[in-house]
Amino acid sequence: MWYNNADAAYHQSLTHLGSTHLNMEGMSISTHRKLSVSHPLFKLLGPHFLYLLSINNLAYTTLLPPGGWVDTSMTTGAKGMIELVGKGMSEWRMDVDGTLPEDLKNRRVDDVSALPNYHYRDDALLLYEAIKNYVTKYVNLYYKSPKDIAGDWELRSWAKELSLRKEKGGVGVLGIPNGGDLKCNEDIVLVATCIIYTCSVTHAAANFLQYEQYAFPANYPSLMAGSPPTTKDAKMAIIDYLPGKAETLDIMVMTNILSLRAANGLGNFEVQYVYDPEAVDIVNEFRAKLKEISKTIQSRNKSRKHPYDILDPKLIPNSISI
C-alpha cells in the first residue's frame, strides 16, 4: 500500500496532470497565439484542444486551492503535487517521453518477450502508428519541400515559441527537433503526432481508470497517514493508516466523476476544420484505420485474462476534457 501510495502521487502529478493537462495547455495556448485558424496545422490540431482550458481552470479553482480535494484526498497535498509537477516536467522531452516508441525503450518496457501482457503498450502502439501515419500524409499534402517550411513564418514562429524557455515567455518544451527550428516534414510530424497522441491516447490511459484504481483505497491509496514501517516485524493496524469514511467517499465521488467521458471518440470531431477534399480523404482514411484498430482490440480482449478496453478508439475522447 505504501508503494501504491507513492505510485498514486506520481500518477496524479505527472502521468496525469503534468504530462497531459498542463503540458498540453501550453501547447494549446501557443497554437492559438501563433497559428491562424485557416493554417493547415491549426485545422489538424484544433479538435484535440477542445475544452482543455476549461477543465484545467476547474482543476485550478476546485481541486488545487488550499483545503481543496487534492489537499484532503492525496498524501502529497496540492503543494506537494505542484512541486512534483515542476520537478518531473522540467525533464519531460517531446522526442522521448512524448514519442511512444522512444518512451517505451526509455522505460525499458518495449521487449514483448520479457514483458508480455502489457496491454497499454500493445494497444497504444497501434494507435501511435495510426496517428503518425495520418499526420504524415496530412503534412506531406501541404509541405512539398523544405522551402515550404522555411517560408511558413506562422509555423516557424509557433515551433520557436514552443521551444523557447519559460523564463523568456515561451512554453519551454524540450526535445522539439533542432531546438524548434523545424527543417523537414518529419520534424513537423514528430511535434503534431505528440500533441494529438497526448491529448487523446495518453490522457485516456491516465484518466479513465481512476475510479477502478482509487475507489477502494486499500487497493491504491491516494491518502495514507503516518510513515511506512522500517522493520519487517513492525506491528501495525492497517486501518490506522488508511483514509476514514468521509475521505474515502470523497475519493470515490471525485474519481468517479473524473472517469466519465465528456467528448466524442477519436476521429469523430466535434468541430470540423478540414474541408479541403484531399485532406478530407486523409481524415476519412484515419477514421477507417481506427475502426480496424477497435476491432483488433476487441478481439484481443476476448483472450486477455483481464480485458483492457481503455484504448479502444471508440472510448478515447479527441481531447483532454475531464
Tell whether residue 73 is a contact of Fe ion (CB under 5 A): no
Closest to Fe ion by CB, 263 vs 282, is: 263
Q: What's the closest the beta carbon of residue 258 comes to Fe ion, in angstroms?
A: 6
Task: Name the closest residue to Fe ion (Cβ).
Answer: 207
Would you report the helix, strand and coil content of the chain in percent, each value rounded to 5?
A: 65, 0, 35
Q: Whole-angstrom Cα distance, residue 35 to residue 235?
A: 61
- The C-alpha cell of 230 is what? 522500517
CA distance to 99, 103, 139, 140, 157, per residue, from 269 (Å): 23, 27, 19, 22, 27
Residue in 215, 264, 199 with CA at minimum distance from that of residue 19: 199
- The stretch near Fe ion (CB under 5 A) out of 42-50, 83-91, 154-162, 200-208 is 200-208
Q: Is 207 in the site for Fe ion (CB under 5 A)?
A: yes
Does residue number 319 form part of the binding site for Fe ion (CB under 5 A)? no
Subset of 17-36 contacting Fe ion (CB under 5 A): none
For the CB of residue 104, give the shortest distance to Fe ion in the complex, in Å. 22
Q: Is 156 helix (H, G, I), strand (E, B) or coil?
A: helix
Nearer to Fe ion by C-beta: 5 or 207?
207
Residue 215 cell numbers, joined: 475507489
Minimum distance from residue 320 beta carbon to Fe ion (Å): 6
What the block records as the C-alpha cell of 125 is 502502439
* Residue that has been written with the C-alpha cell 488550499 in this structure: 66
Pick 203 or 289: Cβ nearer Fe ion: 203
The C-alpha angle with vertex 138 and arms to 128 and 272, in degrees rounded to 5, equals: 90
Site size toward Fe ion, by CB under 5 A: 1
- Build a one-symbol-per-residue string for 153-192: x at contacts with Fe ion by CB under 5 A, - elsewhere: ----------------------------------------
Q: Which residue ranges make up the site for Fe ion (CB under 5 A)?
A: 207
